[in-house]
């Protein structure tokens, strides 16, 4: 395999995947915005800000000129914040050839347009094939070869399988899925629930509360997903419940860490600064709330979190509000009225 890969974004996840691909012997150019960071990485062969202690392979090149990361590559890996992808693609679309495969690993929904990344890519690069790679995968673990499984999703089966082959290693197992909508929503919405789970931790609640948030959270994700055309079974897989579990339970999760701080009384701004990295779930909560209204989907956890993050509601009010909702059948969205008649 001799593919050339351009990685756009040198945060923890972009760096981890660049390392993974370089270890396979592929030629990888990784673009970063920050000139000082580039200089430091070139000198130390380590991304000290995001993945301290992990050495970069010699065939992983860090570049300042984004054109160098784009031109002549078979695969362009989008590894920046989801909310910065539109700007990057618009500025550099003239360098991108229509036969280059776009692989996205960012998780989020654009605030202003409520578009998923696949929709943004389709709008700007209508002729390029798109694949999303998502699932329960902390960069810190992938970078040191801890066994991990993810899913490659595309409307093009051959493209999904090609990405499966390119990224698969003895420690990184890749499954395929045709449900781009479900995989993108799963990866984005789990960050919302992880913020809520973190807030629960910060308030001092226990495992019972977190289990309830995670279980009811996956229902919310699936309900919205079905309305938007996703396959409900996707939310039972790696991009749904798998990613939700790892993001809600691990201290490697920046969304959970930010939630813990908010639960302890930090402002959103203070929590984000303390985490020191992009907390995708904060912006995604706004998009998810607006999508719930647009599609008429009941998403009580998302709504409470939105009011905490954007309307100044006290976190201590949210749990009584959720617990005091009207009685319901647990499976109200997947059973018929006939089934409910005992």
- Give the catalytic positions in this structure: 190
Residue 183 and residue 210 in contact, taking contact as beta carbons nearer than 8 Å: no
Residue 292 and residue 299 in contact, taking contact as beta carbons nearer than 8 Å: yes
| Cα 128 off chain centre by | 21
Residue 137 and residue 156 in contact, taking contact as beta carbons nearer than 8 Å: no
DSSP states of 214-275 as a string? HHHHHHHHHHHHHHTT--GGGGGSIIIIIHHHHHHH-TT-HHHHHHHHHHTT--HHHHHHHH
| Environment class of 312 (CB within 10 Å of its CB; exposed 0-12, middle 13-18, buried 19+) | exposed
Please give the Cα distance from 109 to 282 (Å, whole number).
11
- HSE of 311, CA atoms in CB hemisphere, 13 A: 11
Interacting residues of 260 by C-beta distance below 8 A, sequence separation 6+: 198, 199, 201, 202
Interacting residues of 58 by C-beta distance below 8 A, sequence separation 6+: 45
| Count of CB atoms situated within 10 Å of the CB of 128 | 18
Whole-number Cα distances in Å, 127 to 97, 100, 104, 121, 156: 9, 9, 16, 9, 13
Please give the Cα distance from 184 to 221 (Å, whole number).
11
Residue 203 and residue 315 in contact, taking contact as beta carbons nearer than 8 Å: yes
């Amino acid at each position: 395999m001799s593919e050339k890969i351009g990685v756009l974004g040198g945060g923890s996840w972009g760096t981890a995947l660049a390392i993974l691909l370089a270890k396979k012997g592929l030629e990888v150019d990784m673009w970063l915005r920050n000139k000082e960071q580039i200089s430091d990485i070139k000198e130390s062969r380590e991304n000290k800000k995001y993945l301290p202690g992990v050495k970069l392979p010699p065939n992983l090149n860090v570049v300042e000129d984004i054109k160098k990361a784009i031109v002549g590559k078979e695969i362009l890996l989008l590894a920046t914040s989801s909310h910065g992808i539109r700007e990057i693609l618009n500025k550099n679309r003239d360098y991108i050839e229509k036969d280059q495969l776009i692989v996205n690993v960012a998780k989020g929904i654009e605030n202003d347009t409520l578009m998923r990344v696949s929709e943004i890519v389709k709008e700007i690069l209508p002729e390029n094939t798109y694949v999303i790679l998502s699932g329960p995968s902390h960069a810190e673990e992938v970078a040191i070869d801890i066994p991990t499984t993810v899913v490659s999703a595309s409307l093009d089966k051959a493209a999904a399988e090609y990405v499966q082959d390119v990224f698969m290693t003895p420690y990184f197992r890749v499954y395929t899925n045709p449900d781009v909508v479900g995989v993108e929503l799963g990866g984005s919405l789990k960050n919302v629930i992880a913020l809520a789970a973190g807030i629960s931790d910060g308030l001092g609640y226990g495992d019972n509360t977190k289990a309830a948030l995670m279980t009811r959270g996956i229902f919310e994700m699936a309900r919205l997903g079905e309305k938007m055309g996703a396959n409900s079974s996707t939310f039972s897989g790696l991009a749904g419940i798998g990613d939700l579990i790892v993001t809600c339970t691990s201290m490697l999760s920046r969304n959970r860490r930010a939630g813990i701080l908010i639960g302890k009384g930090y402002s959103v701004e203070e929590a984000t600064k303390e985490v020191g990295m992009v907390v995708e779930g904060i912006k995604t909560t706004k998009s998810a709330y607006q999508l719930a209204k647009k599609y008429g989907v009941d998403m009580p956890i998302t709504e409470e979190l939105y009011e905490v993050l954007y309307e100044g509601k006290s976190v201590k009010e949210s749990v009584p509000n959720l617990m005091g909702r009207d009685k319901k059948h647990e499976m109200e969205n997947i059973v018929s009225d006939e089934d409910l008649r005992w």
